[in-house]
Amino acid sequence: MFKGKKYITFDCYGTLIDWGGGIREALRKLSEKNGLDLDLTNISDKYIKVELEVEAEQYRKYHEVLQLSAKKLLKQMGFDISDKGALEFADSIYNWQPFPETHDVLAELKQKGYKLIILSNIDNEIIKRSIELMGIEFDVVVTAEEVGSYKPSHGHWQEMLRRFKAKKEEVLHVAASYIHDIIPAKEQGFDAIWINRNNEEPTREIRPDIEFKDLRPLPKSLP
């Protein structure tokens, strides 16, 4: 199905790095440290809605987006946190861990000869640490800081095509976020695999080419 692919583009946080787990743990620690009676049920789902709103306001570095989103979410839930607390929440991203299968899957794809690319809504400094934790060298990394916008805007993909002078049919996009990644990838004519870790339902008619629960089936799905 995916013959002729040379480049595999990955979203990072939620796909390769455990974004949801990182958010939940950071908010748990924030709640515990500040004596907040914070209901952590579906907290990452609540958080992402707020983060999307903050990102849509104007371009800011993601480290600042994390701080503003945490403050806004907790205010909606009836709590106020200090600037220091919001900063500690944002700094937690430097220690968010890869999913258990991430390294081995990427290593196998690299061994098969694919160019591995990250397209991420992140800052340059933060992504360096996450790549260290994954233990894999990527061929290209395109960040929100570089393109000055956040997915689902199309800037990441356009920058990737510019750098490689690649054709869309040579590219496969792999991502966990339906809103940030699958919709814009398909809108632009890219093949896309949805890593649907949380059994989400699509909110629009746009569908991925394939859907997996995690990354493990990916190498066998490619020649």
Structural domain boundaries of the chain? 7-18+97-221, 19-95
User: Residue 73 has what pLDDT?
Assistant: 97
pLDDT at 146 over 90: yes
Architecture of domain 19-95: Orthogonal Bundle (1.10)
User: Residue 1 has what pLDDT?
Assistant: 80
Catalytic (active-site) positions: 11
| 77 contacts 39 by C-beta, under 8 angstroms | yes
Instruction: Kindly report the number of other CB atoms within 10 A of residue 31's CB atom.
Output: 19
Q: Measured between alpha carbons, how far is 204 from 111 in angstroms, rounded to an integer?
A: 36
pLDDT digits (tens, 9 = 90+) for 155-200: 999 999 999 999 999 999 999 999 999 999 999 999 999 999 999 9
> What does pTM read for this prediction?
0.94
Helix 19-33 and helix 62-76, axial crossing angle in degrees, nearest 10: 60
Architecture of domain 7-18+97-221: 3-Layer(aba) Sandwich (3.40)
SS3 content of the chain, % helix, strand, coil (to 5): 50, 15, 40
Q: Measured between alpha carbons, how far is 178 from 184 in angstroms, rounded to an integer?
A: 9
Instruction: Kindly report the number of other CB atoms within 10 A of residue 194's CB atom.
Output: 24
Average pLDDT over residues 12-16: 99
Identify the H or E element spanning 131: helix 124-134
